[in-house]
Amino acid sequence: MLNLLFHSQMSLGLGQAAAVALLAILVVQFASRRGAKIGREIPLVLLRGIVQILLVGFLIVALLHGPWWTGIPVLIVMIFIAATIVRRRVPELPGAYTLSLLCMAAGAGGVLTVMTLLGIVEPKIIILIPVGSMVIAQNMNIQSLFLNRFLGEIRSHRGEIESALALGAAPEHAAEPYLHASFHASLIPATDNLRSLGIVWIPGMMAGMVLSGASPIYAALYQFVILSMIFIAGAVSCLTATYLVPRRVFTPQQQLRRLN
Amino acid sequence: MTTNAAVLEARDLSRTLDQAGGPKSLLRDVSFRLDQGQVLAVLGPSGAGKSTLLRMLNRLDEPSSGAVLLQGADTRTMDPRALRRRVGMVMQQAFLFPGAVVANVRYGPAQHGILLKDSQVVNLIRQVGMAGYEDHDVSTLSGGEAQRISIARALANQPEVLLLDEPTSALDDLSKQEIEHLLASLVRERNMTCVWVTHDVAQARRVADLVLKLEAGQAVGFGTSQELLHA
């Protein structure tokens, strides 16, 4: 129906974006009336989302004709911003920004570097930025899940952890069961994505590749590559966190900090 | 006056928390001295600072000022893990680790690279009245049984000092009497130095040689059980 109202691709895109944003706001309004606490920030989040993605679109257009390596600083900035967002999810964790930055640099940064060096991700702006941003964004979600879960585990198992410390356990050892539980839980979405790939869902990027004329088989294989990269980046960043996060929740005197 | 170092000594211990609304004092200038085999009951209402004091003795919490001396040595100069092996603790709740009873008893020594022999584990479990429970899963234990295992777990490290943080307050009346009796006999048999936090005056009277009374983070009485509780 919208394509009858809008004749250029740009105006059609804007119309489609406005329609889905309106629908999202209606759903939020309905949920708010039912008592769900998700309401007030959603219109702002939607607006922010469209502005950000448009800026990236313009950025890709601007960078398209430049050398491929100009995509690297863009991805680095994305990792810095992602670390800021993770920190907001766990404001009670001391040093959460630096921790997230290091973990995502190891995870998303490491995986993108290796994949580019191996030629799995082609060093072209048009590939590097979209693929890189997908890996970084999912890595950010996995990192948030890990830290959130870990802090929850620490709060609910304070007695067990302090019992272990009181018996002479090293802080890393006292926290180990909760690091493992958080590691496992944070990777559930990425694992489920791989498990259900093609059966429950066909990812957007694959659909986009097919729409733009790529072979469906190649698009399917490439989508598997992307999801595997997301899984590997998430696993590496959370594994890095399992080494770094105990130093944030225990004092140098090997006491469990009080996290508000 | 003895010239020997006390087994455990607290010197002007204070703890203040920095909070958004300003610093909050939890404990102020508390001192005591315990010799070998003495049992100190720390008495006081909720919020008096009893647990705060206890947690500073094995450095689960850090004193803001003052010092704790173990056999004359400042505990701040010790590796916290080594200190906690020497100063054992039994908490209000057992907080056993998931798995078998035997794994819980072996936990402490294993942290220091010591694997207890089967006979040692069996002996510890027997001493707390739980013979035959070695392979039981801790999730199947009652509150009193779990507390017995947590006592065996603390004793497995062969601590010089035992800290007891209201070890009977979460139990039913029967278990409360049994655990109190068990702890009192173990402490006497092993001639252990012990700090026993309780809000139960009668319990303090039964188990302690010395009594420290706390109110709102301050010591309001320190002396023998005879002087303070039997008067």
A200-212 tens-digit pLDDT: 766 777 777 777 7
Q: Looking at B151-192, which runs of residues are DSSP E strands?
A: 161-165
Q: What is the mean pLDDT of residues A250-254?
A: 95
Please tell me the least confidently modeled range out of A114-118, A225-229, B20-24: B20-24
Measured between beta carbons, the chain B residues lying within 8 angstroms of A254 are 59, 80-81
Question: How far is A71 from A176, CA to CA, in rounded Å?
Answer: 38
The answer to whether A136 and A144 have CB atoms below 8 angstroms apart is no
* Residue A101 Cα, gap to closest chain B Cα (Å): 28
Residue A10: burial class (beta carbons within 10 Å; 0-12, 13-18, 19+):
exposed
Confidence at A164, pLDDT banded by 50, 70, 90: very high
**Which of A161, A163, A165 is the best mutation test for B, with the most CBs of B within 10 A?**
A163
Binary contact (A169, B111; C-beta < 8 A): yes
Phi and psi at A256, nearest 5°, equal -80, 125
Residue A43: burial class (beta carbons within 10 Å; 0-12, 13-18, 19+):
middle
Give residue A259's pLDDT: 82
SS3 B91: coil
CA A249: distance to chain centroid?
23
B196 versus A26: the higher-pLDDT residue is B196
CA-angle at B80, arms to B204 and B163, nearest 5°: 10
Q: What is the mean pLDDT of residues B167-194?
A: 91
Question: How far is A87 from A107, CA to CA, in rounded Å?
Answer: 17
Q: Would you say residue A177 has pLDDT above 90?
A: yes
Residue A186: burial class (beta carbons within 10 Å; 0-12, 13-18, 19+):
buried
Give residue A203's pLDDT: 72
Residue B2 falls inside a structural domain: no
* Residue B227 Cα, gap to closest chain A Cα (Å): 33
Amino acid at A18: A
Confidence at B48, pLDDT banded by 50, 70, 90: very high
Q: Would you say residue B3 has pLDDT above 60?
A: no
Question: How far is B215 from A50, CA to CA, in rounded Å?
Answer: 60
pLDDT in tens, B67-125: 999 999 999 999 999 999 999 999 999 999 999 999 999 999 999 999 999 999 999 99
Question: In percent, how much of chain B has pLDDT > 70?
Answer: 98
Mean pLDDT of chain B: 93
Strands B39-43 and B193-198: parallel
| Domain interval for residue B166 | 8-229
Measured between beta carbons, the chain B residues lying within 8 angstroms of A255 are 59-62, 80
Binary contact (B60, A169; C-beta < 8 A): no
* Residue A168 Cα, gap to closest chain B Cα (Å): 4
Question: How far is B77 from A190, CA to CA, in rounded Å?
Answer: 47
B22 versus A141: the higher-pLDDT residue is A141
Question: How far is A52 from A72, CA to CA, in rounded Å?
Answer: 18
Residue B3 falls inside a structural domain: no
Q: Which residue has the tokens 């640099």?
A: A105
Question: In percent, how much of chain A has pLDDT > 90?
Answer: 51
Measured between beta carbons, the chain A residues lying within 8 angstroms of B95 are 159-160, 162-163
**Count of CB contacts below 8 A, A vs B?**
61
Binary contact (A168, B82; C-beta < 8 A): yes
The answer to whether A19 and A11 have CB atoms below 8 angstroms apart is no
SS3 B129: coil
* Residue A178 Cα, gap to closest chain B Cα (Å): 12
Strands B161-165 and B193-198: parallel
CATH of the domain at B215: 3.40.50.300
Domain count, chain B: 1
ipTM, interface predicted TM-score of the complex: 0.93
Question: In percent, how much of chain A has pLDDT > 70?
Answer: 97
Q: What is the mean pLDDT of residues A33-41?
A: 71
Q: Would you say residue B139 has pLDDT above 50?
A: yes
Confidence at B171, pLDDT banded by 50, 70, 90: confident
Strands B65-70 and B8-17: antiparallel
Confidence at B225, pLDDT banded by 50, 70, 90: confident
A58 versus A88: the higher-pLDDT residue is A88
Nearest to B44 by CA among B62, B64, B26: B26
Question: How far is B127 from B186, CA to CA, in rounded Å?
Answer: 8
Q: Would you say residue A7 has pLDDT above 80?
A: no
Q: Residue A235: CB partners within 8 Å, gap ≥ 6?
A: A107, A187
- In chain B the first and final C-alpha atoms are separated, in Å, by 25
Q: Which residue has the tokens 């097919």?
A: A210
Between helix B118-127 and helix B143-155 the angle, nearest 10°, is 130
Binary contact (A166, B80; C-beta < 8 A): no
Binary contact (A251, B62; C-beta < 8 A): yes
Mean pLDDT of chain A: 88
Measured between beta carbons, the chain A residues lying within 8 angstroms of B89 are 166
Binary contact (A254, B112; C-beta < 8 A): no
* Nearest-CB residue to A168 (from B97, B111, B150): B111
Residue B200: burial class (beta carbons within 10 Å; 0-12, 13-18, 19+):
middle
Give residue B21's pLDDT: 83
Give residue A211's pLDDT: 74
Please tell me the least confidently modeled range out of A17-31, A68-82, A151-165, B4-18: A17-31
Give residue B2's pLDDT: 45
Confidence at B231, pLDDT banded by 50, 70, 90: low
Question: How far is A181 from B162, CA to CA, in rounded Å?
Answer: 32
Residue B12 falls inside a structural domain: yes
Q: What element of type H or E holds B181?
A: helix B173-189
- The domain segmentation of chain A, as residue ranges, is 1-63, 66-249
Closest residue in chain B to residue A160, using alpha carbons only: B95
Give residue B174's pLDDT: 85
* Nearest-CB residue to B107 (from A159, A167, A170): A167
* Residue B88 Cα, gap to closest chain A Cα (Å): 7
Binary contact (B60, A162; C-beta < 8 A): yes
Give residue B136's pLDDT: 96
Residue B1 falls inside a structural domain: no
Q: Would you say residue A39 has pLDDT above 80?
A: no
Q: Would you say residue B23 has pLDDT above 50?
A: yes
Residue B199 falls inside a structural domain: yes
Nearest to B58 by CA among B205, B157, B186: B157
Binary contact (B91, A168; C-beta < 8 A): no
The answer to whether A111 and A233 have CB atoms below 8 angstroms apart is yes
The answer to whether B229 and B206 have CB atoms below 8 angstroms apart is no
